Structure 1
C-alpha cells in the first residue's frame, strides 16, 4: 500500500451508498446490511415515477437510515411537483438531505433545465433542508462543457455562502485516482470551497463495470476499464477498487487542503456486498497486498 491502514480507514469513514427503487425491491431490510444512520442515496431515474423514490426513502427512514433522495431537475414538471415531492420526502420519510442533479435526459420534461434552477426556487430551504449535494464531474460531462461546469459550480458556491447552506459535491464514479485528485485541485484553484464525496465503483465483475461505464460517459476511466474488458478470460473476474481507494487516501493525506472528505459507493456488484466491503474498510479490516493496494477482510 502507498497509504497507511490508518489513512485509508480515515478516508473511508462516514461512507455513503446508492440504491435504485428496483434494487431496493430486492432488499428485505436495510437494517440487515447497514449500520444505523448510514447515508443512502435513492435515485430518481429518467422516466420513472418519483413516488417510487419517496417509497424507498420511507423504507430507509423506517429502517433507521439517512435517506438522501435525488431531485433530477430535467425530470421535474414544475415547482408544484417539486413542492409536493419535498413535502412527501420530509413528512413521510424524515428527509433532511437531498442530492440535486441535472438528470440524464436530453430535453427537460418541464420548467427546469439545470440543478441551479431548482436550488434557486428556495423550496428546498422552505422545508428546512440545508444539507444538499450537487453533482461533480471529474472527467467532464457529455451534457455540459467543462467551462459551463466550472461556472455552475461557482454559482453553487455563492449560493451556499449566501443562504448558509451545507452544500457538498458528489461525483460520478471513476477508476483512476490521479484524475480525481487533479480535478479536485483544479476546481479548488478556481474557487471551490464545497467538500467532496468521491464516487467509488463497488466490487463487481469487469463485465458489469464495463456495462455501467459505457452508459455513464466517464471519459478516461472508460478507456481504463475497456482495456481490461478486452481480456475475455477476465470478464467475469471481480474488480475491487482497492488501488483507487489506496491512491485517493494517500492523496488526501498528503494535501491538507484537499476538499475530498468521503467516499460514495455505487453497488454495481450488489448492494449488501458493497456495503459489507465499505464497512470493512471503514473499520480498518484490511491487509496489504504484495503488488500494491489491499484486501478488505469482509466477514
Structure 2
C-alpha cells in the first residue's frame, strides 16, 4: 500500500524553480510538460524575473504558476498590470504568499488584501494558491497561520505547505486545519533530492525564493541533508504515505522544492516511479 501510495503522489507533482539565468534551459531539458512548474520571486530582484520566466515557459507549453508576493506589489495599478500580463501569457494559476520584502514595496503587508482585491477584479485566475506552515513559522504563532488560512479560504482554491521533515508533524498539521474547517486541497511541500553543498551554494549565489530563505532560518535542517542516513524524500514520503493518502487529508499532490537542481529532481522521481512500478 505504501509503495502504491507513494507512486500515486509522485504522479501529481509541482516543481518549484528559481528564476536564474539557466532555469529555462534546465526546465526545457528535463521537465515533462505534464509537470506544473512554479516560479519563485525575490525581494532583491523584484517580480520582473519571475514574470519574464513565466511568460517564456508558458510559451513553451508548460503550465506555469508564478509566485506573486504581496510585499512586492507597489500599488493597486501594479497588481492589475501583473494580472493582465499573466492572463495574456495564458496563465490561469498564481501563488500568493505574503513574501519577505522588508519594507514592502507598497501598501500590501500580507496576502489577504491582495486576494480580496483579485476577487474584486473578477477573480482573473481559475486557481489561486496560499501558503501553509506545518513546521512553525519563524515569526508567527501557529494559531495565526491557521487563522490566516481560514480568512483566505473564500479567495483561494488550494494550499501549498512549506517544507516539513517530520511525518508526525505533517499529519498533526493536516488534521488541525481540517478540524478548523479549512477544506482547501493541499499540495505538500517536500524538499527534493538536494545536496547540502549545492543548496548552500544556491542560497549564497542567488538568494531568492521563499524556500531558500526559509531553510536559512532553520540552520539545523542542513544537518538533516548532510548526515549519513539522514533526510531523503523517499523516506519521508514512505513514512508519511498513510497520512497523505487518507481521504480526509485532502492532499492533491506534492510540491517539490528543487532549489534549481531540476535534472536531479526529475531523475530521482523517474527512478523511484520505475522502482515502485
TM-score w.r.t. length of structure 1 = 0.80
Alpha-carbon distance in 2 for matches of 1:269, 1:86: 26
Q: Kindly indicate whether residue 3 of structure 2 is the aligned counterpart of residue 12 of structure 1.
A: no
- Tell me which residue corresponds to 2:111: 115
- Tell me which residue corresponds to 1:261: 252
What is the CA-CA distance between 1:223 and the residue it aligns to?
4.1
Classify the secondary structure of the residue corresponding to 1:71.
coil
CA RMSD of aligned residues (A): 2.8
Q: Is the contact made by 2:225 and 2:231 (CA closer than 8 Å) also made in structure 1?
A: no
Alpha-carbon distance in 1 for matches of 2:221, 2:45: 31
Q: Per-residue CA shift, 1:19-69, capped at 9, x if unaligned?
A: 1111x5344263331222321111111121312111111121122111100
Alpha-carbon distance in 2 for matches of 1:14, 1:214: 23
Alpha-carbon distance in 2 for matches of 1:66, 1:150: 29
- Tell me which residue corresponds to 1:286: 275
Q: 2:240 aligns with which of 224, 248, 261?
A: 248
Greater strand proportion: 1
Q: Kindly indicate whether residue 79 of structure 2 is the aligned counterpart of residue 82 of structure 1.
A: yes
Q: Is the contact made by 2:212 and 2:259 (CA closer than 8 Å) also made in structure 1?
A: no
5+ residue gaps, structure 1? 288-296
Aligned length: 269
What is the CA-CA distance between 1:245 and the residue it aligns to?
1.0
Classify the secondary structure of the residue corresponding to 1:119.
helix
Q: Is the contact made by 2:17 and 2:40 (CA closer than 8 Å) also made in structure 1?
A: yes
Q: 1:138 to 1:238 in 2, by over 3 A?
A: closer
What is the CA-CA distance between 1:224 and the residue it aligns to?
5.4
- Tell me which residue corresponds to 2:262: 271
Q: Is the contact made by 2:23 and 2:260 (CA closer than 8 Å) also made in structure 1?
A: no
Classify the secondary structure of the residue corresponding to 2:117.
coil
Q: 2:183 aligns with which of 182, 188, 193?
A: 193
Q: 1:31 to 1:210 in 2, by over 3 A?
A: closer
Alpha-carbon distance in 2 for matches of 1:80, 1:90: 15
Q: How does 1:149-298 map to 2 (within 5 A)?
A: 149-157=145-153, 159-160=154-155, 167-208=157-198, 215-216=213-214, 223=220, 225-226=222-223, 229=226, 240-253=232-245, 255-268=246-259, 270-281=261-272, 284-287=273-276
5+ residue gaps, structure 2? 204-210
Alpha-carbon distance in 1 for matches of 2:22, 2:120: 27
- Tell me which residue corresponds to 2:208: none
What is the CA-CA distance between 1:75 and the residue it aligns to?
1.6
TM-score w.r.t. length of structure 2 = 0.86
- Tell me which residue corresponds to 2:99: 103
Q: Is the contact made by 2:163 and 2:189 (CA closer than 8 Å) also made in structure 1?
A: yes
